[in-house]
Chains A and B, each alone.
Chain A
Amino acid sequence: MSVSRSRCKTPSPRPRVAPHIAVLPKSGIRDFFELVNTMEGVISLGIGEPDFVAPWKIREATIYSLQRGFTHYTSNLGDLKLRKAICRYFQNRFGGIYSPETECIVTVGVSEGLDIAIRAVTSPGDEVLYHEPCYVSYAPAVSMSHGVPVPVLTKAENDFVVQVEDLEKAVTPKTKLLLLNYPNNPTGAGMTLEDKKKIADFAIRHDLLVFSDEIYDELSYIPRSPSIATLPGMRERTVVFNGFSKAYAMTGFRIAYAVGPHDLVDAMMKIHQYSMLCAPGLSQFGAIEALNSCDEEREAMREEYEQRRNVIVKGFNSMGLHCFLPRGAFYVFPCIQSTGMSSMEFATQLLQEEKVAVIPGSAFGASGEGFVRCSYATAMEEIQEALVRLRRFLKKKGLH
């Protein structure tokens, strides 16, 4: 085999990795991950996916699609039956009407949906507002599109709901897009209708696009309010992202969707077509079953999360680690400032001394410092044992 000489012998004067990729941080807590992985007997509250297995009906429908030989590409946008089911679902849930033919795209997780949408609208130098602490992929996705990610901090005193005053301070003529994620990972924050209206006014005032990651929407513990996309003046500027990973415990299926105005979906579709071709067919058939016949299973999981939330919030507050009652998702975000430790120190010591894994809040942006993320997508017995260990940990340190 002939090997290119320039690659092997003389180091190229040009960087092999593109600079805007080279500067992307790997996850800030890789060492912590490594530590968790080498330890036995760890109770992990650090898992961002359901502990439930996908409902059997979904698995069975997926197997059945295989038996019938549905092993081909689907339409780029996704199987039309699935897109119809998605648009029907969205209309029933929120009253928003989207065309399955032109305003809905099936993606490989919300991960891909957000990526292609951000790529579709971001030109070099465009600024993108996102609230922080937040899911780890937002800022990198913007950077990869040569956009400028602009974090807007949210605070515990506002239950981590992003405030228009803070958005106003961050917005510039270059701002093109606002990323929203409520219910929120990692804080469990949620938005009421009033909150959404204020954000909508802001977006309209500054003529911004809004990408709303509503992947935890079905896991809400407050009265349901409409998607921001359905508020007046918002439909044409909003893309809603949702998926099956959390609500139906289908993380491994890698299946999700976006609905939005035709021009944006069409632009996303171009990127999707050339980079992904289509989402996995098998998963699409599982997703159809999820939407058509798994409301009860979904609701049973939601209720179990809600009850675990009650238990874990009470537990933290009773040991002096204040945490507000999450409005959605399956995370609590207790404040650990009273311990005098940084969130990384807290997580590391808790892991080493009591074998409980939580995620340092700093993993979700600098504003997460002083907090830790604890997932209650974990069996109740484990949550209870983790609380016992945590209490012991604080006692030993004279902190409780």
Chain B
Amino acid sequence: MAQKTQQERILALLKRNARISTQEIADRLNLTPAKAEAAIKKLEEEGIVRGYTALIANDTETITRAIIEVQIQPERDTGFDKVAQQICKFDEVVSAYLISGRYDLHLEVVGKSLQEVAHFVASKLSTQPGVKSCSTLFLLKKYKESGIELEKEEKYERLKISL
């Protein structure tokens, strides 16, 4: 198995816990804190790390989330990108992917209520130039995000001592 690069190791640590201290990264990877700090800075400057965010368990009581699949009329030269980037400008759109299959874009959209999301889709999204049709799927419960299961497994108590 190929050895990971130092950059890959740092990325893996940040992905698992974005709040990990620079000191801990340094200690884990046998670096000086200054070296670790510089490596993180570099990742940020090169745009490999774009930001840090919190993973919040079910916030569905205060926020309504929906997956919206969008069919797009691609444009000459820019294909799907221009329309997609236009759609991404809306704060309501929290993630967006180009997908294969019947639809072209897969969006996650948030709003304060079902009505608000529906209104956004009807008045803003589906009326965008280039948008042919939308299909809206409201999210009911979140089980896993970014590789983390939100309902904790029961933890087995190991023997306190074993040789």
Contacts and interface: CB of A to CB of B under 8 A. Distances in A.
A12 interface: no
A311 B27 contact: yes
Contacts of B159: 47, 49
B160 A36 contact: yes
B30 interface: yes
A295 B1 CA distance: 9
A48 B28 CA distance: 21
B64 to A, nearest CB: 31
Given A307-B28, A310-B27, A314-B27, A53 B161 contact: no
Nearest to A298: B1
Interface of chain B, main secondary structure: loop
Contact of A53 (B29, B156, B160): B156
A263 interface: no
B4 interface: yes
B163 interface: yes
Nearest to A300: B12
A186 B163 CA distance: 8
A47 B162 CA distance: 5
Contact of B162 (A49, A303, A384): A49
A296 to B, nearest CB: 8
Interface in B15-56: 24, 27-30
Interface string A282-314: 000000000000011001000100011011001
B27 A46 contact: no
A32 B158 CA distance: 17
Interface of B: 1, 4, 9, 24, 27-30, 153, 156, 158-163
7 nearest A-B residue pairs (beta carbon): A307-B28, A46-B161, A48-B162, A311-B27, A44-B160, A136-B163, A36-B160
Interface of A: 27, 32-33, 36-37, 42, 44, 46-49, 51, 53, 135-136, 185, 295-296, 299, 303, 307-308, 310-311, 314, 357, 359, 363-364, 380, 384
16 contacts: A36-B160, A37-B161, A42-B160, A46-B161, A47-B158, A49-B159, A51-B158, A185-B163, A295-B1, A296-B1, A310-B27, A310-B29, A310-B30, A311-B28, A380-B24, A384-B24
